[in-house]
Structure 1
């Protein structure tokens, strides 16, 4: 089977969000169609409480899903419905904002390391106004498998890695999202198939890897967007373990209109979301 090539690379850039939380924005912003069905990926991580203690006070969302994956730390989620959830080391929250949710994400620690990711996944037009919902999943409930030379935490989707079948915890019907966290030992490689109609990307957050038959280098804090069909082949030619996220999904191929925390299909829908939020009816 042919190996996929790197179409584009981008280095995560420093940013801040919420109440001054320092983070790395891996991708997001203009020209979102090339990431479809994904909209944004942030990595947050610091040993310094001042970098995260402000958290993300109450804020709205409409029209998409957020996936929060905590590697280390504790984050409490509260929403307008009265739900309260605590994400701890290794836990995942998959939240569907749908027609509207107002929630907060606040650290439940005042010292130590907080490290994790938030991924935004688009919803199809016909599901953008469904009722909001979310699931908090503890680390022990997320499928994890250790193999010779690598390990995989399968957050979402169904695929194979080195011909070993994997089933993630979440199955996302509309976009068939695959979300894997892979640890790769030195001098080892992994491969996983990608269909031609899926968009796929690899984000290395620790170590130094290479991708494809041309062994294109992908250093830490760098995302590679892949093109075509075939196998995604990732190699670790360094002397230390590498860790990376592998993301793939079926594009919605629908117009994307975004204004901050609202993601719809046209400007009129964005204007309506803003009015609904200002009038206190976003979630009704």
Structure 2
């Protein structure tokens, strides 16, 4: 198998190049609306680097909890500003929604990114009371899954996690050792295993692994491996590929959003 091709999503999704500008425009319009309503706290620093910042969006009532959305991009691309509008479905359920940016490889390693996301969640959890729900897409799905490992989050924050949803996650990093992307990741065999959620203990909170039925076979495998390792929920959503699988986060009544909102 050519693993570079196997893990290439852009090369097989029709009109893939249109997704980034579409996300950017929708996210910018969303931030403007939320800012005008005084429901956006943008660029909150959780660390010392310029990318160690987060946006917090507030519902139109006292928040009943915190939902965190972690973006993907193979740990190499993107930031929170592309994905602001994906807070929509959660806000309708009374959630405060936090989206963090983080430093990218090769400037840092994947393990450093995981620590940064943990710090962002900790800071946000100290700002917003109530249950914490974690959702992430692709590399963000990996990072959300890593948050459930013992010691990644402070005990008091870990205990507050009510639901977690890795969407199209990379759960076993070992295949990436054989890709050209590893020039940026700089993974060796030990680190690839250490940063792979499939080797973590089964979490002590509800988890649903979500993936699109039209995704490439390796992403179907990665989702299944994690669901089997953790004996947790596993949804293969029909007629969704790697980029549009997150569209249902926009709909408060979608199965995806309602699953994450379960008590």
Q: Give the TM interval when normalised to the shorter protein.
A: 0.3 to 0.5
TM-score by length of 1: 0.32
- Higher helix proportion (structure 1 or 2): 2
Could you say which structure has the greater relative contact order, defined with CA pairs below 8 angstroms and 6 or more residues apart? 1
TM-score by length of 2: 0.34
- Higher strand proportion (structure 1 or 2): 1
